[in-house]
């Protein structure tokens, strides 16, 4: 049984990685603090980042590595805010030291990494989750209400997730296939997490397609390790539904919204801030629109804290977080093998 804390303020928290891009670790620690937890430490292998962490959170301890921090600090919960290819190894090191862990998204790059992390969680009786804070975005919460509860568009037939534009890769680690996982592993994992809230049944098969090389001369990682120009995947479910995901840097005419959900009685378009539905009503097409409620991403760490203090169920379990990674992993493998791949996890 994992350790239970008496109250939120008893949970000592910290971050591994305090990079300057997007200030992700600061966001994690701020939300942990908002939930009532005690921010005590930060570790980063880049020395200039440590003074920045101390400035943001006066009085915290800072360390030059996760290993040093685990040896010297009695921190209880760590968020892993490092490049994608390091999530699994760092999470495992922390869990083997008896610490609870939240990884930044994506959870990991491969299904095998997810499985290793879950096995270490179980062996050490600790908590493991990933930062799917967008589970509480206003637009997906409203979509779940309109589509699943109110049945505004009837029964869901398919979900098409899409994100892209026409742009060359930036000079940063997310342009590396081996470090980031590929073009799908940034926004794609969010779009999949949204989509999986709207579909029923178990995944049975994934087909993947990818185009490479067009932007190779603009990519600092070149053709050998550069991310794909575009990737596309199809996921089949035993419910008869299907899901498609497109992430592209070759898209000259981006589609409206982020998700297009087709049902038996209409189409629902998910876009930040305002939803749109084209419904079949009394033999007529009726366009309905509305504003989305505010996002409530703070609920992620509220749930983590409630789990550690009261034993409330985790919303984002490691097993749930493995599902989008399993899809992305199989899309990549399928595109290379030029054939569909059966799923291991539904």
- The tens digit of pLDDT for each residue in 211-259 reads 999 999 999 999 999 999 999 999 999 999 999 999 999 999 999 999 9
Structure tokens at 158: 């398919």
Q: Are residues 52 and 116 in the same domain?
A: yes
Q: Cα–Cα distance between 8 and 160 in angstroms, integer?
A: 40
Q: Are residues 189 and 334 in the same domain?
A: yes
Q: Are residues 144 and 65 in the same domain?
A: no
Position 1 scores a pLDDT of 63
Q: Are residues 45 and 112 in the same domain?
A: yes
Domain membership flag for residue 311: no
Residue 219: give the domain boundaries.
135-294+325-342
Domain membership flag for residue 310: no
Structure tokens at 13: 């928290």
Closest C-alpha among 333, 187, 337, 183 to residue 250: 183
Q: Are residues 120 and 211 in the same domain?
A: no
Give the end of a domain, one of 131, 148, 167. 131
Q: Cα–Cα distance between 98 and 96 in angstroms, integer?
A: 5
Q: Cα–Cα distance between 167 and 129 in angstroms, integer?
A: 33
Q: Are residues 87 and 19 in the same domain?
A: yes
pLDDT reading at 180 higher than 70: yes
Question: 122: which residues sit within 8 A by CB, 6+ positions away?
Answer: none
User: Please, what is the Cα angle at 292 between 255 and 37, to 5 degrees?
Assistant: 110
Q: Are residues 281 and 329 in the same domain?
A: yes
pLDDT band at 19 (very low <50, low <70, confident <90, very high): confident
Read off the pLDDT of residues 289-312 as tens digits, 9 standing for 90 and up.
999 999 999 999 999 999 999 999
Domain membership flag for residue 309: no
Domain membership flag for residue 2: no
Which letter, b or e, does each residue of 118-140 get, where b requires 16 or more Cβ atoms within 10 Å of its Cβ? bebbeebebbbbbbbbbbbbbbb
Domain membership flag for residue 268: yes
Q: Are residues 115 and 150 in the same domain?
A: no
Whether 130 and 108 have beta carbons less than 8 Å apart is answered as no
Closest C-alpha among 282, 257, 280, 243 to residue 154: 280
CATH number of the domain enclosing 190: 3.30.360.10
Q: CA gyration radius for the chain?
A: 21
Question: 285: which residues sit within 8 A by CB, 6+ positions away?
Answer: 278, 279
Number of Cβ atoms within 10 Å of the Cβ of 276:
16
158 backbone dihedrals φ, ψ, rounded to 5°: -155, 160
Domain membership flag for residue 319: no
Q: Are residues 271 and 203 in the same domain?
A: yes
Give the end of a domain, one of 131, 152, 171. 131
Domain membership flag for residue 301: no
Q: Are residues 161 and 75 in the same domain?
A: no
Average pLDDT over residues 328-341: 98
CATH number of the domain enclosing 93: 3.40.50.720
Position 3 scores a pLDDT of 81
Whether 290 and 275 have beta carbons less than 8 Å apart is answered as yes
Number of Cβ atoms within 10 Å of the Cβ of 177:
20
Q: Are residues 80 and 193 in the same domain?
A: no
Read off the pLDDT of residues 310-319 as tens digits, 9 standing for 90 and up.
999 999 999 9
Whether 177 and 227 have beta carbons less than 8 Å apart is answered as yes
Average pLDDT over residues 62-81: 98
Q: Are residues 123 and 143 in the same domain?
A: no
Query: Which pTM value belongs to this model?
Result: 0.96
Number of Cβ atoms within 10 Å of the Cβ of 207:
18
Give the end of a domain, one of 131, 166, 193. 131
Read off the pLDDT of residues 134-144 as tens digits, 9 standing for 90 and up.
999 999 999 99
Average pLDDT of every residue of the chain: 96
Position 283 scores a pLDDT of 86
Read off the pLDDT of residues 262-292 as tens digits, 9 standing for 90 and up.
999 999 999 999 999 999 998 899 999 999 9
Total domain count for the chain? 2
Domain membership flag for residue 236: yes
Q: What is the percent of the chain where pLDDT is above 70?
A: 99
């Amino acid at each position: 049984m994992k350790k239970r804390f008496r109250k939120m303020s008893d949970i000592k928290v910290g971050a591994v990685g305090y990079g300057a891009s997007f200030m992700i670790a600061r966001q994690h620690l701020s939300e942990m603090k908002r939930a009532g937890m005690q921010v005590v430490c930060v570790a980063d292998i880049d020395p200039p980042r440590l003074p920045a962490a101390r400035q943001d959170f006066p009085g915290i301890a800072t360390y030059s590595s996760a290993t040093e921090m685990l040896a010297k600090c009695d921190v209880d919960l760590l968020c892993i805010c490092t490049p994608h290819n390091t999530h699994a190894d760092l999470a495992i090191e922390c869990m083997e030291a008896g610490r609870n862990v939240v990884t930044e998204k994506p959870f990991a790059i491969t299904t095998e990494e997810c499985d290793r992390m879950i096995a270490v969680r179980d062996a050490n009786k600790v908590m493991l989750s990933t930062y799917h804070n967008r589970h509480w975005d206003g637009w997906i919460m409203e979509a779940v209400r309109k589509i699943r509860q109110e049945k505004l568009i009837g029964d869901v037939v398919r979900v098409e997730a899409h994100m892209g534009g026409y742009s060359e890769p930036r000079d940063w680690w997310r342009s590396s296939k081996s470090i980031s996982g590929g073009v799908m592993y940034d926004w794609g994992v969010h779009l999949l997490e949204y989509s999986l809230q709207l579909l029923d049944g178990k995944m049975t098969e994934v087909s993947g397609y990818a185009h490479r090389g067009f932007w190779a001369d603009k990519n600092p990682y070149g053709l050998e390790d550069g991310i794909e120009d575009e990737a596309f995947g199809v996921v089949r479910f035993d419910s008869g539904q299907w899901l498609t995901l497109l992430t592209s840097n070759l898209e000259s005419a981006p589609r409206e919204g982020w998700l297009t959900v087709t049902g038996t009685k209409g189409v629902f378009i998910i876009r930040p801030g305002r939803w749109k539905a084209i419904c079949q009503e009394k033999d007529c097409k009726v366009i309905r629109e509305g504003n989305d409620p505010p996002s409530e991403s703070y609920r992620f760490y509220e749930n983590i804290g409630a789990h550690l203090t009261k034993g409330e169920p985790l919303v984002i379990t490691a097993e749930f977080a493995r599902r989008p990674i399993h899809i992305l992993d199989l899309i990549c493998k399928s595109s290379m093998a030029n054939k569909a791949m059966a799923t291991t996890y539904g």
